[in-house]
Amino acid sequence: MKKFVYRWANNMFHSYLWHTIALFFILFFLASVFIIYYFESEQNSDLTFIESFRIGLIILLGEYDDLNTNMGKFMSLLLFILGIFVVATLIGKITAVFVELNRGVKMPTNIENHIIICNWHRNGERIVEELHSEQANPDINIIIISETEINEIELRLRPEYEKVFFVRSDPTLHLVLNRAGVHVAKSIIILSDPNYHDPDAKSALIALAITKCDQKQICKVRIIAEVNNPNKIQHLIDAGVDEWVCSTDFGLGILAQSALYGKLSNVYQQLLTYSADTNEVYLLNNDKYPKSFLGKKFHEIVELLNQKRNLTNPVIIIGIKRYEQVILNPKENQFDELKDTDSLIVISFDPPDLKHF
């Protein structure tokens, strides 16, 4: 309960930070005007509240106005200091607006079926390259939400960033996620934040915020998270993460297998890279394979694919996905026959469509 209250208070604070600061400045200014009027009117009976307001405004904007009482002089000093911050803030905000207006690429207002990347580090560039490669989906829109400063100008020189939009903000905030269209996104990738003291905890907060924003949708948006500590995986799953990738676990597994058999790292490298010259792993739902496959055993599907092998884009089946269970190269007792809820796991050069079978 305490954690929930803390997260709620933290979100409220960040969402209404500038409103709170503006309200404080206004109240402080009005209080200063009242104090100046109260003390200075004793020395100057002709002084009105409107005149005190004018004096306070002049001092706030950096002009000098002679006051008689010590309290009036003290309040004028405070107003002068406050005016420095107010003017600097206004200039910064106006500059930010003009910078935003002058950017070459603006996020569409009706964006949907896109991919959102929360947080950013140097490996994020590889993810964008893979997603926008010719063999993947070069036309899909990508929104990157990160508090980390990103050299957007330099990245925009590369063609794969033509349909990438940047949001410099905190991805744990509901307001930011709603602006990015989290409820109509295709999927969301949560990268570890290297600048946060507990990256997995922040990833869990983002997943909770996404789940909250996505409650009204019939189909839940898919969330994939990068994990630093394998012991935190269950926390991420509880927060709403559908899939997780722990580079530490994968990396150690590849190292061990490469030490035993050699050059296996090249195999994984090819399977995980979108390229015209390499094979990739694809998941084919029942709308991508013919009805005639239903009811057949694994080896029978293998034989059918070999008999009608596509020479330009050959397809090899390596397993079955049944609900959340993945069965690679299944044994006889692991897989009976193909059902319409099953998906085929295949490797090929390009995304295959087996409906012609």
256 falls within a domain = no
272 falls within a domain = no
CATH of the domain at 121: 3.40.50.720
Shared domain check, 208 and 95: no
d(CA 192, CA 198): 9
d(CA 277, CA 73): 77
Provide the domain count of the chain: 3
- What is the predicted pLDDT for the residue at 324? 82
Cβ atoms 235, 254 nearer than 8 A: no
Shared domain check, 243 and 143: yes
CATH of the domain at 325: 3.30.70
Shared domain check, 143 and 93: no
Q: Which two tokens stand for residue 212?
A: 């909250």
Shared domain check, 140 and 94: no
- What is the predicted pLDDT for the residue at 155? 87
Instruction: Give pLDDT tens digits along the chain (357 positions).
Output: 554 455 555 555 555 666 777 788 888 888 888 888 888 887 777 788 888 888 888 887 777 667 778 887 888 788 888 877 777 777 777 776 665 555 545 667 788 899 999 999 988 998 998 889 887 888 999 999 999 888 888 888 888 898 899 998 999 999 899 889 998 899 999 999 988 889 999 999 999 999 888 666 656 788 999 998 888 889 999 999 998 888 777 777 777 777 777 778 788 888 877 777 888 889 999 888 989 999 999 999 999 898 888 888 899 999 999 988 899 999 888 999 999 999 999 999 888 888 776
d(CA 231, CA 214): 27
d(CA 32, CA 19): 20
Residue for token digits 């989290």?
Answer: 182
Shared domain check, 82 and 160: no
273 falls within a domain = no
Shared domain check, 94 and 181: no
- HSE-CB at 346 with a 13 A cutoff on CA atoms is 24
Shared domain check, 244 and 124: yes
231 falls within a domain = yes
From 238, 96, 104, 202, select the one nearest 161 (Cα to Cα).
104
The number of residues in the chain equals: 357
From 284, 278, 279, 274, select the one nearest 356 (Cα to Cα).
284
265 falls within a domain = no
Last residue of some domain: 79, 102, 125?
A: 102
d(CA 74, CA 48): 19
- Structure letter (DSSP) for residue 133: S
Shared domain check, 98 and 156: no
Last residue of some domain: 234, 250, 266?
A: 250
- What is the predicted pLDDT for the residue at 219? 67
* Enclosing domain of residue 136: 115-250
Shared domain check, 221 and 298: no
CATH of the domain at 72: 1.10.287
108 falls within a domain = no
110 falls within a domain = no
| Helices and strands in the chain, H and E counts | 12, 10
Shared domain check, 127 and 98: no
Q: Which two tokens stand for residue 101?
A: 């207006």
Shared domain check, 125 and 246: yes
Shared domain check, 245 and 141: yes
Last residue of some domain: 55, 73, 102?
A: 102
262 falls within a domain = no
